[in-house]
Chain A
Amino acid sequence: MSTTEQPTTPGFEVDPAAFRHLADAQVNVELDTGDMILNMGPQHPATHGTLRLVVRLDGERVIAADPVIGYMHRGYEKLTEFRTYPQVTTLINRIDWLSSFANEVPFVHAAEQLMEIEAPPRAQYIRTALTELSRIATFLLFLGEMGLQVGALTPAFYGFRDREHVLNLIEAATGGRFHPNFNRIGGLKDDLPWGWISETRNVMKIVLDACDVFEDLVVGNEIFQARTRSIGIIPGELGASYGVSGSNLRASGVDWDLRRDGAPYLAYPDLDFQVFTHPDGDSFSRYWVRLQETRESARMVLQLLDGMPAGPIMAKVPRIIKVPEGEAWVETENPLGQMGYYVVSKGATGPFRVKIRSASFSNVSILPWMLRGVYVPDVVTILASLYFILGDIDR
């Protein structure tokens, strides 16, 4: 992809005069200034991966922005056409690599729906616990890393430091820190190791303390608030029409959480949890909502541990799994937003076609609208607050 070709988002070729009013025209009206096209290119610390953001600047104001995605396209949907179900489960770990366990869940659910089997209750509880643990892991990274994008160096380290405990838990149970590859059609690969439940209780205390630290260090910091309040406001309805989902939409006041409102899946119907919304819809509220959700996830994990049923972790499935013909669509509340898999099966050992609806792809689609008229530093704040993963956008 040539880095000098002009992007083609409609609206990018704008008449600068029409946007002068956004760009502090008092000074520029006598000077005949030109616009600058800046390429916040695939390699940039602020774009969380290989996202290319071509912005047209007037001084420090953005007049138009065009995200160019696809630098990390790995051809997932094509790959799944030639893999068996266990192999696909391995691959899709790597879509959203920070909360890998959560990627496997909707796919395995879809396959189980087609096979008309259900995982036993213990497996559902453990799956829910691991999903919430991966949510905590990825949100801790977000809480630290958004501080970093806004300029504070220390919260990032605290986020990584506290995340290590959660990753150790996931590794103790599944064998892999980042890519657990633990779901199987019909249940899970293994049961939990001895001592995992008490260890998890300790780690949840650490997580709750870490959330308090972030609240004092970042949320309470006046400079952070000055940088994030009223920046990047997404009106609730507009966000929903663009397909924004997850914490981004809840931060705009839309009370929508698939764990509570969507089709029941995993152990969520048994849990008592609160869904947080914030009326403002700016970057600060996105940070705040994710902070509260981290705390809530920790409490949910504690509930799950208290109510963990005994029993098998695998339903009766044949050795070689052939999923009967049919199509299934399952969407779940992943940490990044709403993730869905549409699985088409023709009765073989592998899927015929898998369509992956990834959350970040739709979250990023609102960027051209949102970035008009903001300052360059605010671009970084907005990108950080939307919290997308490139693997999730490009697949």
Chain B
Amino acid sequence: MNALAVEIPWGVLLAIKAVVILAVVPLGALVLGYTFLLKMMSHMQSRLGPMDPGGFHGWFQLIGDGIKFLQKEDIVPDEADRRVFALAPTVVVISTFLIFVVIPAGPRLQVANLDVGVFYALAVSSLSVIGVLMAGWASANKFALIGALRAAAQLIAYELPLLLAVVGVVIQAGTMSLQGIVSAQQDGAIFGWSGIGNPFILTQFVGFLLFLIAAQAELTQTPFDMPVAESELVAGYMVEYTGFRFLFFFIGEFGTATAFAALAATLFLGGWSIPGVHGTAADLLGPLVLVVKLMAVAFLMFWVRFTYPRLREDQLQALAWKVLIPIALVNVIITAIIKVAI
């Protein structure tokens, strides 16, 4: 990365990148949590949400909650497996951090421009399944166990629609690198007109919908929140976690929501790019554009979350295996045929 005219030693660069990733996840969790969970959900329910903390519409609420969690007593159930219990939230959060490694925020603002960016992102996001299973097993709690087993089945089932939805984009872009996909959208043209580039949401609309549905399931959000069914399992696999361990899960959940929203924005909406803006201007505007696009995607995800009831586990599985995967396969086939034929 050489945005400035100064040569930055690679050690310092590595440190900067690490700090950026470590900061982006809680920040993303905060912003998404505040905007959608606290404010949008409240207004959809005819109420205001937090208004007092911090004075102006309660912006301090989540930060205050975070501080509150940090100073809580560390309770580990008597019969729990201590080491696994402690490691589980860490595994979940690590997978979130790792996704942000490949998401580009500008033509030169990227932690790592992997040639297999998409493959890497999706592979790494499925690490959280292990964390969830660890949490459910180590809690020594039947409700947690049920939640963890449901989560494992669900998260694995929905990996496939997620992957197949993205394959269409990869075929169309011709590359698995996320920077390459963004460039393909920025410099592309729709029937010769390059006014708005070629955002893949137009041609891959089916893929976009599938990605959203599968991402909703990967995040265990309603209508796929059986593992965390609040009215049955009271937080499912997270039920025995309190204090800062729960904070990790919370940051992991909303951080992953940010990551998936950013991925969707990058794959389907053009990521950081505005057609016609290149170079340093794109470096400066890129993060802002990416944030706007990911908030739009997150709005859709949370809108659905707060409106629908949840599907039962077997209905959820049937939806994945019998409906989404065939549609995704058909999408891939059609995309491939059109790419080769046209």
Which of A's residues lie within 8 Å of B, judged by CB? 36, 38, 44-46, 60, 147-154, 157-158, 161, 217-218, 221, 223-224, 226-227, 375-380
Q: Does B146 lie within 8 Å of A151, measured CB to CB? A: no
Which of B16-24, B201-209, B218-226 interfaces with chain A?
A: B218-226
* Nearest B residue to A222, CB-CB: B308
Residues of A with C-beta under 8 A to B44: 154
Given contacts A157-B45, A380-B231, A380-B232, contact A152 B308 (CB under 8 A): yes
Expressed in whole angstroms, the Cα–Cα distance for A379 and B225 within the complex equals 17
Q: Does B45 lie within 8 Å of A154, measured CB to CB? A: yes
Expressed in whole angstroms, the Cα–Cα distance for A223 and B312 within the complex equals 9
Main secondary structure of the interface of A (DSSP, over half): helix
Residues of B with C-beta under 8 A to A379: 232
Q: Which of B234, B306, B309 contacts A45 (CB 8 A)?
A: B234
User: Is B47 positioned at the interface, with any CB of A under 8 Å from its CB?
Assistant: yes
Q: Does A45 lie within 8 Å of B230, measured CB to CB? A: yes
Q: Does A153 lie within 8 Å of B313, measured CB to CB? A: no
Q: Which of B150, B225, B313, B314 contacts A151 (CB 8 A)?
A: B225
Q: Please list the 7 inter-chain residue pairs (A to B) with the smallest Cβ-Cβ separation, ordered nearest first.
A: A151-B310, A157-B45, A151-B309, A152-B309, A150-B309, A45-B231, A377-B312
* Nearest B residue to A378, CB-CB: B312
Q: Does B313 lie within 8 Å of A375, measured CB to CB? A: yes
Q: Does A226 lie within 8 Å of B306, measured CB to CB? A: no
Residues of B with C-beta under 8 A to A227: 309-312, 315
Given contacts A153-B45, A157-B46, contact A226 B222 (CB under 8 A): no
Given contacts A46-B231, A223-B223, A380-B231, contact A151 B308 (CB under 8 A): yes
Residues of B with C-beta under 8 A to A154: 44-45, 306-307
Expressed in whole angstroms, the Cα–Cα distance for A154 and B40 within the complex equals 12
Residues of A with C-beta under 8 A to B230: 45
Residues of B with C-beta under 8 A to A378: 312
Residues of A with C-beta under 8 A to B259: none
Residues of A with C-beta under 8 A to B312: 226-227, 375, 377-378
Q: Does B223 lie within 8 Å of A151, measured CB to CB? A: yes
Given contacts A149-B231, A223-B308, contact A377 B41 (CB under 8 A): no
Shortest C-beta distance, A4 to chain B (Å), equals 14
Shortest C-beta distance, A190 to chain B (Å), equals 32
User: Is B229 positioned at the interface, with any CB of A under 8 Å from its CB?
Assistant: yes
Q: Does A221 lie within 8 Å of B309, measured CB to CB? A: yes
Q: Does A36 lie within 8 Å of B45, measured CB to CB? A: no
* Nearest B residue to A380, CB-CB: B232
Q: Does B311 lie within 8 Å of A226, measured CB to CB? A: yes
